Amino acid sequence: MGNVKGWLLCVLMMLSTLSLFVPAQSTRDLAAGGDFSLTDRTGNLFRLSDRHGKVILLFFGYTSCTEACPIILGRINSVFKQLGPDQNKALAVFISVDPQRDTTDVLRDYVKYFSAGTVALTGKKEEIDAVVKQYGAKYEIEKSDSALGYHISHTTDILLIDQQGALRSRFKHTDSAKVITDGVRLLLR
């Protein structure tokens, strides 16, 4: 009986240690991800494959979002601060799901308020929709009585992409900066 308890305790300790090395969510339920091209805030072509060698934190949103997007950008800033000297090995990528309002000029002005060096991307609706689908995200434009005339419900996950461009994990926008930083550091090892 004592031998079984010892074995069980050993297994439990191994499982708890293993969970320290798994980012916020496993790769289950992840879309394929992969390479894409969109327009950056300076009007230049951005290709994910050109960023191989960096860990990418990718998220979808729009500049008029008053809820999740500022929280996500703030959280990503905290992640980059926690990364310290390793922050140059990672990149934050924000893809706007509102190409009608989020022009390159609007994106340029928006991301300058955040210090993580976030790359903001836009494109034609069809191009954005393809990337949204490719990464298993969603968004829906909903008419509203607001001054803007509509708002957008969108996926608020932060996607973790490794140095080879493979989608590795998803974080909730409510996950702490430490949890996200640990996921990034795991890929930097």
Among 66-75, 76-85, 86-95, the range scoring the smallest mean pLDDT is 66-75
pLDDT at 132 over 80: yes
pLDDT at 154 over 80: yes
Q: Give Cβ neighbours of residue 171 (< 8 Å, ≥ 6 apart).
A: 23, 24, 25, 157, 158, 159, 160, 179, 180, 183
pLDDT at 2 over 80: no
Global pTM reads 0.82
pLDDT at 96 over 80: yes
pLDDT at 22 over 90: no
The residue ranking higher by pLDDT, 31 or 45, is 45
Angle 123-95-110 from CA coordinates, rounded to 5°: 100
Average of per-residue pLDDT values in the chain: 85
Alpha-carbon gap, residue 44 to 105, rounded angstroms: 12
What confidence category does residue 31 fall into, taking pLDDT thresholds of 50, 70 and 90?
Answer: low
Q: What is the pLDDT of residue 14?
A: 38
What confidence category does residue 30 fall into, taking pLDDT thresholds of 50, 70 and 90?
Answer: low
